[in-house]
Amino acid sequence: MAPLVQTLKADLGLLPNSYIYKILSTSPRQDPLTYTNTDQLAVISSDDSLRFFDPATLRVLPDGILKDVNKGITCLERVDDAEGNLVATAGRDGLINFWDKRSRGKAMAIQSRGCISMLFQHSEC
């Protein structure tokens, strides 16, 4: 077995002591296991951010850092679209937010019933 050799290193603009929860491909796919042309990856981290970056260079893409996407972010998943343009984040705030990788903007949000009070107050669920 050949030894591993580090070829790239990046901090993705994370603050010290931040850590990554999940990385996933936002590439188009033919089926759930077959991806094409992985030109972007999405990552969520402990600073409650969503980042889009180039896997070849490990550089964050322009406007690729979305801060405070959820309070207490816990989850990142692809939305079931073949092109891979949408990802969903969820957190302890009871929100599921849908993000469009093309515009880097929020496409939609869903709030759990237990957090309806958050619409009117700044309280925890």
| pLDDT tens by residue, 85-101 | 999 999 999 999 999 99
pLDDT at 78 over 70: yes
Look at residue 73 and tell me if it is in a domain.
Answer: yes
Look at residue 81 and tell me if it is in a domain.
Answer: yes
Mean pLDDT of the residues in the chain: 86
Domain count of the chain?
A: 1
CA distance 82 to 32: 9
Residue with tokens 């901090």: 11
pTM score above 0.85? no
What pLDDT is stored for residue 115 in this prediction? 60
Residue with tokens 């929860």: 21
Look at residue 101 and tell me if it is in a domain.
Answer: yes
Range of the domain at 64: 20-119
Look at residue 15 and tell me if it is in a domain.
Answer: no
Q: Residue 49: which of 72, 32, 28 has the closest Cα?
A: 72
CA distance 94 to 113: 8
- Both tokens of 4, joined, read 């591993």
